Amino acid sequence: MHTLVRRRVLAAGLLAAGIAPLAACGRKPSRGQTVPSGATVLALGDSLTSGVGASADTAYPAVLQRLTGWKVINGGISGDTSAQALQRLPELLQKHQPALVIVSIGGNDFLRRQSASATRTNVHKICADAKAGGAQVLLVAIPELTILATLGQLSDHGMYEDIAKELGIPLHRKGWSGVLADARLRSDNIHANAAGYELFTQGLVDTLKDTGLLAR
């Protein structure tokens, strides 16, 4: 059997078995420029960023600073919506002039049943404005509020994938979804504990390395 025919037969067999070839199933992440040690990084978000459920030194921005050598500014405010984070962003950018902004916002919008369209617009503008201000941006996906979520089966809201693709920015997937689905990693139903923030940050560091934002 000729080589080309063998390849076609193999590909047909894989598809019939429901297995896509590796080259076709990999999701290639958006790449960024490496942020050097000592650079200022802004972590923008709500209570999951501020560190509710743990001490200040175990909140994820503090853990990220320890793991990377960056100067990580904790820009998380408990209870903040995407609209409030968008309103705070210009002052934070002007004050800190970060090389990278990590955006983790939207959970309070979902909990308060606010318009998904408005939330999407706000998150998109936060990321776009941070880019326009000269920073690189990493977007963190937030779990969608569904009936399954109340049973501990969390999944990322699809808007984050869409926004990341539209703006060509890296996305950290399944970070909060993975942590908050495990009762051992939570301080309550919607916040991590110290172990949860540590695990989240370790996964975030992997994404930063995979996307080139952090040197390996």
Q: Which residues are catalytic?
A: 47, 188, 191
Half-sphere exposure of 185 (CA within 13 A, CB side): 18
Give 155: exposed, middle or buried? Use CB within 10 Å, 0-12, 13-18, 19+: middle
Query: Sign of torsion, CA 53 57 63 64?
Result: positive
Cα gap 107→36, rounded to integer Å:
30
The pair of three-digit structure tokens given for residue 178, joined into one six-digit string: 């993975």
* Contact assessment for residue 131 and residue 72, using Cβ atoms and an 8 Å cutoff: no
Residue given tokens 């940050």 in the structure block: 201
